[in-house]
Amino acid sequence: MQKSTKAQPSSVKDELSLPKITPTPKTGSEYLSDQGNNTTFSLFDFWRWSVSDLLSNATRGRLAEFIVASAVKLDLQVVRDEWGAFDITTPEGIKIEVKSAAYIQSWHQKSFSTISFSIKASLYWDADTNKQQKVAKRHADVYVFCHLKHQDQATIDPLQLEQWDFYVLPTVALDNYTRSKSSITLKSLGKLVTPCAYGDLRQAIATASKAQKEASKNQA
């Protein structure tokens, strides 16, 4: 009798091994295509459609990261890491977490928003290994709290950097902050550090990084 050639089910489940995908910068001139033919819609059209509301929380947060990145002269050919343990690594190796808040939102408001920033410790997820750490902590060396301070709805423009204040702290200052472990108000921030303007941001980050290194030495 002829034996069946039908494949037998494996007793061991096959597992895929898909490495992390490293994105490359786009120009905006790339087009959506269908069946090998370009449509009339470009990647620039998508960007304009999806992120033109600079006052929305999500977009403003990314803009704040970009503002800080520009201040520290980050290589913009390296695409933003959506899943990093922190937001920015400077050319000098300083790890930065960026937070943003604003009085004015894009939705209808009865009053200005109360300014508060998250400082919650988090579990680091490694995109290279797809594994998560078991102990929550603050992973950056420096925190930059970006406050869009402008209070005139008719003239607010997040692209005008003079409308922002930047509060820069070494992470140890937040580790030692006892009032809350999950958030900090603008008033409390003002007691810890004087805000700086965009032109002084790079130096403020370097100073905070130095303080963080000194604190780490003392704790060792």
Interval 31-36 mean pLDDT: 98
| pLDDT at site 131 | 77
Q: Is residue 193 part of a domain?
A: yes
73 Ramachandran zone, left/alpha/beta (phi>0; psi -120 to 50): left
Q: Is residue 45 part of a domain?
A: yes
Note the pLDDT tens digit of each residue in 92-151. Answer: 999 999 999 999 999 999 999 999 999 998 887 776 677 777 778 899 999 999 999 999
How many structural domains are present in the chain? Answer: 1
| pLDDT at site 216 | 86
The helix/strand count (H/E) of the chain reads as: 5, 10
| pLDDT at site 122 | 85
Going by C-alpha positions, the residue among 54, 58, 32, 34 that lies closest to residue 45 is: 32
Domain that includes residue 193, residue range? 38-219
| pLDDT at site 11 | 47
Q: Is residue 70 part of a domain?
A: yes
Interval 69-76 mean pLDDT: 96
> Tokens 């894009």 map to which residue?
106
Interval 77-104 mean pLDDT: 94
Q: Is residue 155 part of a domain?
A: yes
Q: What is the mean pLDDT of the chain?
A: 91
68 contacts 144 by C-beta, under 8 angstroms = yes
Q: Is residue 16 part of a domain?
A: no
Interval 152-167 mean pLDDT: 98
Q: Is the pLDDT of residue 2 over 50?
A: no
What share of the chain has pLDDT > 70, as a percent?
A: 92
Note the residue count of the chain: 220
User: For residues 15 and 174, which has the higher predicted lDDT (pLDDT)?
Assistant: 174
Q: Is residue 3 part of a domain?
A: no
